[in-house]
Amino acid sequence: MNKLRRFIFFLVLATALPVFGQISEYAVKAAYLFNFVKFVSWPDKVYDDDKGAVVMGILGDDPFGDTLDDMVKGKTLEGHPVLIRRFESFDEGQAELLRKCHVLFICYSEKDRLPGILRVLKGAPVLTVSEIEKFPLLGGMILFDQEGQRITLAINPKAAERAQLTISSKLLQVAKIFKSE
């Protein structure tokens, strides 16, 4: 129940953006990324690398700056330390490192490379998140969308299932669900 309260807090925070102008869009998105881990189940043995850390990857032109780093500094998720790994742009030679991320935020700058990115991640237990339009339709898992000044979520649960991930019903309740064919 405590997890649900924290997640609801971040949802309220996201809807309060117009009121609290000093809270940046990417501070809210960073909070979402950090908290997604609490609402997704990974298969066993995904913490074998990187000393048991939760690896959050940022692929492309990083819009977060220091915000995400500051947010995770000294914190743990489900008892695991958090490691931020940045990739300047997609290169198939990075496939192995990308597949070791637990959460991968795919920046808008990678829009034209998205099919190749999703191809190298196919079957890997990596929660993919982006703000690229139609991301769930293209095979991504979570889309950061906007309705006016509000940040909303669209989720493709089938894409998550194909990656052996289970998204909590609590997270699904606060998102638009994309239903693939």
CA nearest to 144, candidates 29, 64, 30, 65: 29
pTM of the model: 0.85
pLDDT value at 91 more than 80: yes
Q: Which residues pair with 154 in a beta bridge?
A: 143, 176
* pLDDT tens digits along 123-153: 999 999 999 999 999 999 999 998 888 999 9
- Mean pLDDT of the region 91-116: 96
CATH code (residue 85): 3.40.50.2300
pLDDT by residue (tens digit) across 54-73? 999 999 999 999 999 999 99
pLDDT of residue 44: 74
The count of domains in the chain is 1
Residue-range definition of the domain harbouring residue 131? 2-177
Q: Are strands 103-106 and 127-130 parallel, antiparallel or unpaired?
A: parallel
Closest C-alpha to 137, from 125, 145, 148, 149: 145
